[in-house]
Amino acid sequence: MASAARRFLARAHELGLIPPDRLREIDLWVESVEGAGRDAALVETLVRRGILTPAQVDAVESSLGRAASVRDLLGDEPGVMLRGGPRCDEGEGAKYDPVAVLGRGGMGEVWLATDREILREVAVKRLLDTEDRDALVRFVFEGQVTGQLEHPNIVPVYELGVSTGDGRPFLAMKRVRGKGLDQVLEAFRRGMPTGLEAVPDGDPEASLSRLVGVFVKVCDAMAYAHSRGVIHRDLKPANIMVGEFGEVHVMDWGLAKVLDRRESPADRSLRTGRGAAGPADPIRTREGDITGTPAYMPPEQARGEIASLSERSDVYSLGAVLYEILSLRLPFEGRLDEVVLKVLRGAFVPPSRASRAPWSIPRELEAVVLKAMSARPGDRYDSVLALRDDVERFLAGRTLAAARYSPWQLVAKWTRRHRTAVLGGGATVAAAVAGLVGILLAASAARRSESERIHDARVAVALERFDRSEGAWRSSTVPFNPASPQEFFLDRLPLAVEMG
């Protein structure tokens, strides 16, 4: 590692204060002095020998005091500012220029800031109390975990650093333009516009479809996090951001648990005012004997069984989020202590019976919720991928693992999925019938005298064809298979056309 003296020399050379030939000479001298274990006293020597003036020494030390910047390379060349971007001062100053406070919590605050290098808006999270060792460890943990979870539906981290001004750690992240999913759902509860192009307001069924699409993206993020050995432990609509152009980001990984580690910072009992029992808000994150948000947490988390938490714990919380999307109600309501008791008992009303939503709740998605929110982890989906697969099968009109179907429900689903083939078959039958009728009418008009004979003959032919096709229908060996009904119907479709 370069010594302080050599870093000083290198920076003086970069600033053009020491020519190359003199730099090599001084560097050899510093190497010999430091090799003998003595202090080179470089700055004093350079000033004494007239190589640098005191003012030049100050310039070098000032340059070393701040990080090199692309602004130094550009000089007077202006940076690029796209339409709709921030307006900022490209001059001297910290890399992140604070604009306004976006939010403040018990541990930290989030600022809207401008990145002076890239000229974009960012969200900068700052720790308030650096004397709290546990809070400091958790802050760094959150930054490192979130930064390593590189996925389109997880908020990107740009930098984890320490402010040169006050020595506080900060976390620079993408500034997500949009709203929390909790705000979107509240707008639907109140019958107000969501303000997001990605979630339309006018058509209730279309709105539900878009919200379920948001949920699928959250499942994508969590499936990736689980593949990296991370569970979130605080999944809820307030920690899901929906952007103006369809972006979906899972936020706030401060309570995450890394399954490969014996202990995560959030596992420590951090007693705060919000951890006290009483009529506190059950949808706010609790830190204390129970870590998480009671209305969305699984029973094992509510019991404080940290060691037993797994990916299926997040599956439960995702089920609770889907419950609220479907019904616009929390799965558990009441005082904080009442909510925790209901969670422990697994006592919640199915979403279809509690709904305040303007849309009808598909029974299949309700089945997904009931399976994901099973009190016993072993009764839930074994992974987020399995949960997501069932939801995607619903969107595609396929059968779900969580639902039960009668034969006619299977036929109806198959018919909806193969609408074109079914309509095409119906058109064939209709065309055959229309053609037959047309022939009969034309013959009747042209040859009135033979109408009865022609009629009797065609009826006889039709009856013969019907009897022959009906026998073939009854003798067909293709059985009805609820899992794959298409073979049964495709085998009999030609016979149906033949029978008229």
Active centre residues (catalytic): 234
Q: Which amino acid is at 259?
A: L
Which residues are bridge partners to 173 per DSSP?
123, 157
Q: Which amino acid is at 445?
A: A
What is the distance between the alpha carbons of residues 275 and 292, in angstroms, rounded to a whole number?
Answer: 10
Q: How far from each other are the two terminal CA atoms of the chain, in whole angstroms? A: 90
Cα 376 → chain centroid: 25
In the block, residue with structure tokens 């620079």 = 172
Residue 7 parent element (H or E) = helix 4-14
Burial class (CB in 10 A: 0-12, 13-18, 19+), 126: buried
What is the distance between the alpha carbons of residues 500 and 431, in angstroms, rounded to a whole number?
Answer: 10
In the block, residue with structure tokens 């697969």 = 389
Q: Which amino acid is at 28?
A: L
Cβ proximity of 202 and 342 under 8 Å: no
Nearest Cα to 153, choosing from 172, 120, 176, 186? 176
β-sheet with 120-127: strand ranges across: 96-104, 108-115, 120-127, 169-174, 157-162
Give me the half-sphere count of Cα atoms (radius 13 Å) on the Cβ side of residue 290.
28
What is the distance between the alpha carbons of residues 232 and 250, in angstroms, rounded to a whole number?
Answer: 9
Question: Could you please report the per-residue DSSP string of 158-185?
Answer: EEEEE-TTT--EEEEEE---EEEHHHHH
Q: Is the dihedral of CA 209, 211, 213, 219 positive or negative?
A: negative
In the block, residue with structure tokens 């019904």 = 327
Structure tokens, 392? 């995607």
Which residues are bridge partners to 109 per DSSP?
104, 126
Cβ proximity of 336 and 277 under 8 Å: yes
Cβ proximity of 101 and 111 under 8 Å: yes
Burial class (CB in 10 A: 0-12, 13-18, 19+), 373: buried
